[in-house]
């Protein structure tokens, strides 16, 4: 047993399998919580365990249905607060609304900040997340935030594959820092794709900085949404003479035309983590490998409870 009876780990309905894996790593039983809907669609939560004075963790990704899962998380936090929990940590493997982190047009919201305010107002005393899309999101919170990266999990996977002649390709300029870290971790070359976004769904990769000819390309990003960026980049690197194309992401959203695009693309393999559960049409439609972040989150929960540093869980 890693933890004692002063700790309770609860799971929302977004990703029950991940909750089971985390609790399995920690050697604890998932906390009891009844979650159901009233006839009019409102969510109802009842905590079955005594949480008075205890250190509570709620594992809930705010993935599709985003609003429903977010509201469920807020209600669970409020429930624990009113049940006199000592500390409430919202463990959010995937943080929805993270991309709306600034005003890039007139009369638009900064929804990432709004969600941060809602979590704090509900009663969360700490947030634990993975790859929040942008580092500045940590500053949106008035409570402590532990910002993990899935890099250790994904780097291990790539190292174990022993890829010959690897080149890390950043699918866009904004991902260069992440790509550079992977270059040092797996000792690969670096190339950068310059893309032009046509609209919210479509992108066009125009040119590439660096050489990919005769090499095996690895592209890693924080998320795959409609797959426009990676599919466009894969087409370009293949045109430039690349051999195999492997694409990875922490969060596999696979929205809209993503599956169809990947099926018709030059991508040979895709890997994602289990921060978001994959739909059946995704599993059956494309060649995707799922890596688990359960151990990473479980170890982080253990260290947060013991007031220990989690810095060593990150690759340097």
Q: Which residues are annotated as a binding site for D-ribose 5-phosphate?
A: 197, 221
Q: Which two tokens stand for residue 210?
A: 């660096």
Nearest-10 crossing angle of helices 16-26, 294-305: 60
Q: Which two tokens stand for residue 101?
A: 């982190």
Q: Answer yes or no: 195 catalytic.
A: yes
Nearest-10 crossing angle of helices 151-161, 176-186: 50
Q: Cite the annotated binding site for Mg(2+) by residue number.
A: 133, 172
Tell me how far apart the alpha carbons of residues 86 and 111 are, in angstroms, rounded to a whole number: 28
Determine which one of 8, 195, 215, 302 is catalytic: 195
Q: Cite the annotated binding site by residue number.
A: 40-42, 99-100, 133, 172, 197, 221
Residue 282 phi, psi dihedral angles, 5° rounding: -75, -50
Q: Which neighbouring-strand residues pair with 34? A: 46
Q: Cite the annotated binding site for ATP by residue number.
A: 40-42, 99-100
Cβ neighbours around 77 below 10 Å, total = 27
Which active-site residues does the annotation give?
A: 195
């Amino acid at each position: 047993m890693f933890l004692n009876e002063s700790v309770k780990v609860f799971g929302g309905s977004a990703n029950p399998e991940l909750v089971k894996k985390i609790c399995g790593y920690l050697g604890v039983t998932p906390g009891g919580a009844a979650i159901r809907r009233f006839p009019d669609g409102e969510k109802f939560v009842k905590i079955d365990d005594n949480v008075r004075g205890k250190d509570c963790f709620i594992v809930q990704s705010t993935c599709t249905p985003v609003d429903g899962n977010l509201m469920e998380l807020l209600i669970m936090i409020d429930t624990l607060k009113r049940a006199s929990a000592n500390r409430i940590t919202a463990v959010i493997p995937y943080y929805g609304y993270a991309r709306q982190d600034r005003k890039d047009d007139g009369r638009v919201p900064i929804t990432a900040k709004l969600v941060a305010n809602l979590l704090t107002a509900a009663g969360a005393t700490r947030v634990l997340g993975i790859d929040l899309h942008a580092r500045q999101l940590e500053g949106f919170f008035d409570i402590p935030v532990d910002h993990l990266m899935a890099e250790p999990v994904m780097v291990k996977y790539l190292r174990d594959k022993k890829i010959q002649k690897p080149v890390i390709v950043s699918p866009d300029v904004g991902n260069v820092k992440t790509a550079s870290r992977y270059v040092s971790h797996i000792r690969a070359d670096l190339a950068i794709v310059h893309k032009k976004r046509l609209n919210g769904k479509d992108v066009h990769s125009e040119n590439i900085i660096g050489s990919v000819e005769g090499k095996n390309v690895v592209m890693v990003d924080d998320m795959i949404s409609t797959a426009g960026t990676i599919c466009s980049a894969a087409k370009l690197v293949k045109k430039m003479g690349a051999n195999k194309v492997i694409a990875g992401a922490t969060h596999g959203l696979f929205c809209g035309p993503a599956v169809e695009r990947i099926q018709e693309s030059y991508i040979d393999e895709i890997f994602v983590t289990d921060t978001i559960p994959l739909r059946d049409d995704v599993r059956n439609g494309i060649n995707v490998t799922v890596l688990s972040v359960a151990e990473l989150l479980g170890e982080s929960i253990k260290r947060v409870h013991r007031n220990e540093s989690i810095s060593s869980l990150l690759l340097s």
